[in-house]
Chains A and B, each alone.
Chain A
Amino acid sequence: GNSVTQMEGPVTLSEEAFLTINCTYTATGYPSLFWYVQYPGEGLQLLLKATKADDKGSNKGFEATYRKETTSFHLEKGSVQVSDSAVYFCALSAGTLGRLYFGRGTQLTVWP
């Protein structure tokens, strides 16, 4: 079946620190992979995505590379800001149009 395992939080970092949030997946077929971000009181927003192996998704300084050999899609950012504080969800889509399988979410808090 399809599932996503995501690094448990919460993660607390100082501003300008390096961020990694691990995500691994199990899927039938060839899934597309996503990272969503949820700011307090708001809906989920697509942060980045990758649709095939070795693709790198990037946005707002965040990056994630689709690694088929390790079934991973780890989220990284070289220098986090206070405004990056949010909950981050890893997700995959396989088969049914738009149907997403989510990880548990990782709460990130960045201190100035």
Chain B
Amino acid sequence: GAVVSQHPSRVICKSGTSVKIECRSLDFQATTMFWYRQFPKQSLMLMATSNEGSKATYEQGVEKDKFLINHASLTLSTLTVTSAHPEDSSFYICSAITSDGHEQYFGPGTRLTVT
């Protein structure tokens, strides 16, 4: 089946620095990608919807200036956590929808730890 990759799988950074997470659809083009955040033993919370060639749509309560999303091509979306703080430590998961809109595939997630 279709594969979505995320890079890096784990990252540790110092408070105040920025971290970029990549989400790639490896064998299909994805007009739309989603970014989720998952806290331990909790559900996946949608952060934003990323559409190729346009600005991302953020969910209520998500700071767009802190979580920068860029969807520059049909196979790549990036999430940059700017000026990271310990409370941003979490598991970030992306998903990508096929062009026909029929299937959605998830990446393996990125574990971010801010010290």
Contacts and interface: CB of A to CB of B under 8 A. Distances in A.
B32 A98 contact: yes
Nearest to B46: A99
Contacts of B112: none
A104 B32 contact: no
B69 interface: no
Contact of B4 (A36, A43, A99, A104): A43
Interface in B52-100: 93, 95, 97
Given A43-B108, A44-B106, A98 B34 contact: yes
Report the contact-size class of chain B (Cβ under 8 Å from the partner).
20 to 34
A97 B6 CA distance: 22
B49 interface: yes
Say whether chain B's binding surface is mostly helix, strand, loop, or mixed.
Answer: strand
Contacts of A96: 49
B106 A43 contact: yes
A89 B43 contact: yes
B4 A97 contact: no
Contact of A104 (B41, B49, B95, B103): B41
B26 interface: no
Given A41-B108, A42-B108, A97 B97 contact: yes
Report the contact-size class of chain A (Cβ under 8 Å from the partner).
10 to 19
Interface string A25-60: 000000000001000011111100000000000000
B11 interface: no
Contacts of A44: 44, 93, 95, 106
Most buried by B among A41, A98, A100, A105: A98
A92 B41 CA distance: 19
A4 B107 CA distance: 22
A97 B104 CA distance: 10
A99 B108 CA distance: 18
A73 interface: no
A99 B33 CA distance: 10
Closest 4 CB pairs of A and B: A43-B106, A44-B106, A43-B108, A98-B97
5 contacts: A43-B109, A89-B43, A89-B44, A101-B46, A104-B41
